[in-house]
C-alpha cells in the first residue's frame, strides 16, 4: 500500500503541521529500518537467492490496485516479501519493499516527502513484521534454512498480522490527516478488506517457502499463478466498488443541482439578499471544518442546509419580507412561520444526510428563547448552531431595506451583545441565533 501525502489537502495550518510531523516521524523510523537492513545485507551469504525473491517482489509490485475512495494503492508483492522474510530474515524483505514503494511513488510523480513516506512506511511495517516472525520462531533463520510446517504457520500468521496492521494503520492515519475523518473509520472503510489479500498472500508464501526447500527456484513457478489469481479477484472487486463510488458522486451532484435550483427560486423571491445564501454556505462549511466537524455527511448536510435554510420565505408575503422598517408583532409572527414551512417543504426530499433538522432549528437559541419550538442547549443540532451564527453575521454585514450594512466590528459587537443572554460568546457553536430580530 502507498499513501500520497500533500500539505495542500490540510484545511488549516495546524492540520498541515500535524500531517507534516506525522510524515516526518514515520519516515525517520522507516529509514532507520532500511539502514539497519542494508547493513545486514553487506556480506550476507547466498545473495543470488535472496536477490531473486527481492526482484520478484519489486516486479510483482507493478500489479497495483487503487483503493476506491482514498488516494491509496495496494501492490501484489506480499507473497514474495513474506517468503523472503521466512527464508532469509528481515533485511532482504525490508529493502525490497522500500524499493517497491519508492519506485511506485516516483513513477507517479509524487513530491519528495511523499516518495520517502511511501518507501519508509512499508519498510518499517515489513521490518517489524519480520522481527515478530524471528521472535516467534526463536532465532533468525539462516539463509536457505529449511523450516518445518509446524514451525512456520504460527510465526507466519504473526508476521503477516503485524505487517498488515502496522502498514494499513499508518497509511489510514495519513489518509485521515490528509482528507479528514477518524483514522479508524478510514481503516475500516477502505483497508480492512485488504486483510483478505494479506491472508491469501501469507498462504501462498507458506506454500512457496516449503517448496523452496525442496524445489529451489522452481517453486516460483507454483507461486506466481496464485499471486496473479488474487490480483485478478481484487481487481474485479475494486472495479465494482469504483463503479459504486462513481454512482454515489453522480447522485450527489444531482442533489446539489436540485438544491441550487431551489436556492435560485429563493433568490428570485428575496432578491435583496441574492448573494447572502452563497456566502452563508461558504462560511458555514469553513466554520464547521475549523470547529472539527469532519464527517462527510455532516459537512454535506450543512452545505445543503445553508443553501436552503430560507426556503420557507417563499410563503412569506413580499410586503413583510422586504418591509423597509421594523416589523409589527403580527408581521414578525408571520415571518417566523418560514422556518417550519421551509422544513416541511424540504421533508418531501429524501436527502441522504440530515438537512431538515438543521433548517428547522436554525432560529433556535442556546438559552431556549428562539423559535419555532424553543429548543435549547445541546438539543440544537451542531449544524443549526453554526448556520445560526453565520447567518446572523452575514445578515448584519449586508444592506437590507430596513437598515444599512454594519461594519464587521459593529456586527461582531451586536452579535456579542445579543449573545449575552445566550450565556456564551457569539462565535461559539453554543451561541445559536444571537440576534434574530436585527438579522431578520
Contacts 24+ apart (CB under 8 A), 396-405: 396/435, 396/438, 396/439, 398/273, 398/276, 399/272, 400/272, 400/273, 400/440, 401/272, 401/322, 401/323, 401/324, 402/323, 402/324, 402/325, 402/326, 402/440, 403/438
pLDDT of amino acid 94: 93
CA distance 148 to 422: 72
Domain positions in the chain: 7-246, 270-439
CATH of domain 270-439: 1.10.3210.10
In the beta sheet, which residues pair with residue 400?
403
pLDDT of amino acid 426: 34
What is the pTM (predicted TM-score) of this model? 0.51
> Residue 73 belongs to what H/E stretch?
strand 72-74
In the beta sheet, which residues pair with residue 73?
2, 66
| Architecture of the structural domain at 7-246 | Orthogonal Bundle (1.10)
The cell for 110 is: 509524487
CA distance 198 to 167: 11
The cell for 311 is: 426556503
Rounded to 10°, the helix 112-137/149-179 angle is 150
pLDDT of amino acid 311: 84
CA distance 191 to 203: 19
> Residue 67 belongs to what H/E stretch?
strand 65-67
pLDDT of amino acid 396: 83
pLDDT of amino acid 195: 82
pLDDT of amino acid 36: 93
Per-residue pLDDT of the chain (440 residues; tens, 9 = 90+): 544 443 334 446 777 888 899 999 999 999 999 999 999 988 787 777 778 777 777 776 666 656 555 545 555 678 888 888 888 889 999 999 898 889 888 888 888 999 999 999 999 999 999 999 999 988 766 655 666 777 888 999 999 999 999 999 999 999 888 877 788 888 988 788 778 778 877 887 887 787 776 655 555 655 566 666 666 666 666 667 666 667 667 777 776 676 766 666 666 666 545 577 778 888 899 999 888 888 888 898 998 888 888 888 888 888 887 777 788 888 888 889 989 998 998 888 888 888 999 999 999 988 888 988 899 898 999 999 999 888 888 878 876 666 677 777 777 766 554 433 333 333 333 333 344 333 44
Amino acid at each position: 500500500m502507498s499513501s500520497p501525502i500533500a500539505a495542500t489537502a490540510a484545511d488549516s495550518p495546524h492540520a498541515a503541521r500535524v500531517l507534516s510531523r506525522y510524515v516526518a516521524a514515520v519516515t525517520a523510523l522507516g529509514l532507520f529500518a532500511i539502514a539497519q537492513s542494508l547493513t545486514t545485507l553487506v556480506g550476507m551469504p547466498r545473495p543470488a537467492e535472496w536477490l531473486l525473491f527481492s526482484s520478484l517482489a519489486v516486479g510483482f509490485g507493478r500489479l497495483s490496485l487503487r483503493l476506491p475512495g482514498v488516494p491509496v494503492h495496494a501492490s501484489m508483492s506480499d507473497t514474495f516479501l513474506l517468503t523472503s522474510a521466512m527464508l532469509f530474515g528481515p533485511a532482504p524483505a525490508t529493502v525490497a519493499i522500500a524499493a517497491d514503494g519508492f519506485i511506485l511513488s516516483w513513477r507517479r510523480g509524487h513530491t519528495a516527502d511523499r516518495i520517502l513516506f511511501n518507501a519508509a512506511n512499508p519498510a518499517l511495517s515489513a521490518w517489524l513484521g519480520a522481527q515478530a516472525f524471528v521472535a516467534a520462531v526463536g532465532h533468525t533463520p539462516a539463509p536457505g534454512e529449511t523450516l518445518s510446517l509446524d514451525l512456520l504457520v504460527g510465526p507466519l500468521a504473526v508476521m503477516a498480522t503485524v505487517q498488515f496492521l502496522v502498514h494499513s494503520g499508518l497509511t489510514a492515519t495519513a489518509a485521515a490527516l490528509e482528507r479528514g475523518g477518524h483514522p479508524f473509520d478510514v481503516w475500516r472503510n477502505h483497508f480492512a478488506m485488504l486483510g483478505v489479500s494479506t491472508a491469501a498472500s501469507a498462504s501462498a508464501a507458506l506454500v512457496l517457502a516449503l517448496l523452496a526447500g525442496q524445489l529451489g527456484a522452481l517453486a516460483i513457478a507454483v507461486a506466481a499463478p496464485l499471486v496473479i489469481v488474487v490480483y485478478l479477484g481484487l481487481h474485479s472487486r475494486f472495479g465494482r466498488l469504483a463503479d459504486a463510488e462513481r454512482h454515489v458522486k453522480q447522485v450527489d451532484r444531482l442533489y446539489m443541482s436540485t438544491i441550487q435550483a431551489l436556492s435560485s427560486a429563493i433568490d428570485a423571491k428575496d432578491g435583496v439578499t441574492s448573494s447572502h445564501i452563497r456566502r452563508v454556505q461558504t462560511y458555514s462549511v469553513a466554520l464547521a471544518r475549523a470547529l472539527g466537524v469532519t464527517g462527510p455527511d455532516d459537512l454535506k448536510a450543512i452545505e445543503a442546509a445553508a443553501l436552503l435554510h430560507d426556503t420557507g420565505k417563499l410563503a412569506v408575503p413580499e410586503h413583510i419580507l422586504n418591509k423597509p422598517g421594523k416589523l409589527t408583532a403580527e408581521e414578525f409572527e408571520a415571518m417566523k412561520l418560514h422556518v417550519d414551512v421551509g422544513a416541511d417543504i424540504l421533508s418531501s426530499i429524501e436527502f441522504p444526510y440530515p438537512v431538515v433538522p438543521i433548517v428547522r432549528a436554525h432560529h433556535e437559541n442556546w438559552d431556549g428563547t428562539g423559535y419555532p419550538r424553543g429548543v435549547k442547549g445541546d438539543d440544537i443540532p451542531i449544524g443549526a448552531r453554526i448556520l445560526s451564527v453565520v447567518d446572523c453575521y452575514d445578515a448584519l454585514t449586508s444592506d437590507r431595506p430596513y437598515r444599512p450594512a454594519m461594519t464587521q466590528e459593529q456586527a461582531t459587537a451586536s452579535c456579542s451583545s445579543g449573545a449575552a443572554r445566550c450565556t456564551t460568546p457569539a462565535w461559539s457553536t453554543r451561541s445559536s441565533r444571537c440576534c434574530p430580530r436585527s438579522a431578520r
